[in-house]
Amino acid sequence: MIKILIITPLLDLPGGVSNYIQLLVKQMDKEKFEIKYLFVGKRGLFWKDFSYPLLIFIQFIKLKKLLKDYQPNLIHLNPSLQNIAIFRDFIFLKIIKKEDCKILLFIHGWQENIGKKFQSIFWKHYFKKRFEMADAIVVLANQFKRNLVELGINANKIYVSTTMVESELYLPEEKNFSAPYNILFCANMKEEKGPFEIIDAAPIILNKFPNTKFIFIGKGKDLIKLKKKSKELGIEKNIIFTGYISMENKVMIFKKSHIFIFPSFHGEGFPTVILEAMAAGLPIITTPIAGLVDAIENDKEGLILNIKPSAIEVANKITQLLENPNLMKKISKNNLNEIKEKYDVKIVSRKIFEIYDNL
């Protein structure tokens, strides 16, 4: 029995890491792997910024107790590269390194400022020393691996993986690419994810395809601004803001949509929503960020936007697909095949378990 301690955000909170861990554990051979968790991050009103250091201290104590009582063979740590979480997770590393167990670092995202910090002699040394503590590192893009190799980390212990999806859950019964069309965006409603570019592009689309619906799934700090913008443009009847919805309703909307658009210009890892859209047979329109550079090829899985695209460019890409149903059908078929071959939960999790075994 391999005893694994997974350090992760709370599993009942929305987010890419928690979703990934739930899918991974669901696929585990329970006779081979035994799992315990250490949950990190904060929840609720009590843990304000001023009290967050106290929470982190409590988590350090919990980690030491788990290491002593549970004595895991392997630590699966999902480090955040944001602000104070960087230091928290690197202190976790130092604590764990004193024990007789292997360490797998799974870096789900990649912040732009991290690459810049690597240029500083101090930060380069700091990050190199910490990353070297890991026995294996998993990243979600080839570029991230190159960044770590340039930092001085041994390439042999760096693995490039992807996020994953339960493909059968999203499989559409039949995909009919004919008007009226549903254009789907699903993410945190904040500027850097690109929702305003979609709103600004909508009137251009509606001039040619007046019955088109634009569906925005998710909540976030800019949701009110987006609703206001749609009213100002006089297109609110064609815009649907769902807010946060259940998994069942989310899957239903994916199945009934025709195009998925993700014009993010924010530091990403490998957004799971892209795989969910592919599993639903949707052509993808996205910017070439992070892991999507490796996954999305023009006219194969979808269409590629420039980083921080204009509304006109977004409208042109959407129009290109809407005016060519045969291209949409071709891309849909490609995506359904690729999901089964590369990104299904059974395929991706099996490769992670192989890394466990190697360690």
Cα dihedral angle (53, 113, 77, 89), rounded to 10 degrees?
-30
Domain ranges of the chain: 2-164+344-358, 167-343
Contact 300, 337 (CB under 8 A): no
* Closest alpha carbon to 93 in 102, 349, 281, 10: 102
Q: Do domains 2-164+344-358 and 167-343 have the same CATH topology?
A: yes
Q: What's the pLDDT score for residue 45? A: 47
Residues in the chain: 359
Architecture of the 167-343 domain? 3-Layer(aba) Sandwich (3.40)
* Closest alpha carbon to 271 in 164, 168, 144, 111: 164
Contact 166, 19 (CB under 8 A): no
Q: What's the pLDDT score for residue 50? A: 55
Inform me whether the pLDDT recorded for 36 exceeds 90.
Answer: yes
* Residue/partner pairs of 159-163 with CB below 8 Å, 24 or more apart: 159/351, 159/355, 160/294, 161/348, 161/351, 161/352, 162/270, 162/275, 162/291, 162/295, 162/342, 162/343, 162/348, 163/16, 163/20, 163/108, 163/269, 163/270, 163/271, 163/272, 163/275, 163/291, 163/343, 163/348
Element spanning 127, H or E: helix 121-131
Q: What's the pLDDT score for residue 51? A: 65
Inform me whether the pLDDT recorded for 223 exceeds 70.
Answer: yes
Q: What's the pLDDT score for residue 180? A: 94
**Could you report the per-residue pLDDT of 191-216, keeping only the tens digit for each?**
989 999 999 999 999 999 999 999 99
**Could you report the per-residue pLDDT of 238-294, keeping only the tens digit for each?**
999 999 899 999 999 999 999 999 998 876 678 899 999 999 999 999 998 877 888
**Could you report the per-residue pLDDT of 147-186, keeping only the tens digit for each?**
899 889 999 999 999 999 999 999 987 888 988 999 999 9
Using 50, 70 and 90 to split pLDDT, how confident is the model at 96? very high
**Could you report the per-residue pLDDT of 319-338, keeping only the tens digit for each?**
999 999 999 999 999 999 99
Inform me whether the pLDDT recorded for 60 exceeds 80.
Answer: yes
Looking at domain 2-164+344-358, its CATH class is alpha beta
Greatest mean pLDDT among 6-15, 74-83, 151-160, 267-276: 151-160
Using 50, 70 and 90 to split pLDDT, how confident is the model at 52? low
Q: What's the pLDDT score for residue 3? A: 95
Greatest mean pLDDT among 41-55, 96-110, 233-247: 233-247
**Could you report the per-residue pLDDT of 111-158, keeping only the tens digit for each?**
666 666 667 788 788 888 889 999 999 999 888 898 899 889 999 999
The mean pLDDT of the chain is: 89
Q: What is the C-alpha separation between 259 and 185, in angstroms, rounded?
A: 9
- In this structure, the strands spanning 213-217 and 102-106 are unpaired
Contact 355, 157 (CB under 8 A): no
Contact 356, 2 (CB under 8 A): yes
Mean pLDDT of 308-313: 93
279 CB-contact burial (10 Å; exposed 0-12 / middle 13-18 / buried 19+): buried
Q: What's the pLDDT score for residue 47? A: 46
The percent of residues above 70 in pLDDT, for the chain, comes to 93
Inform me whether the pLDDT recorded for 222 exceeds 90.
Answer: yes
* Closest alpha carbon to 98 in 71, 122, 80: 71
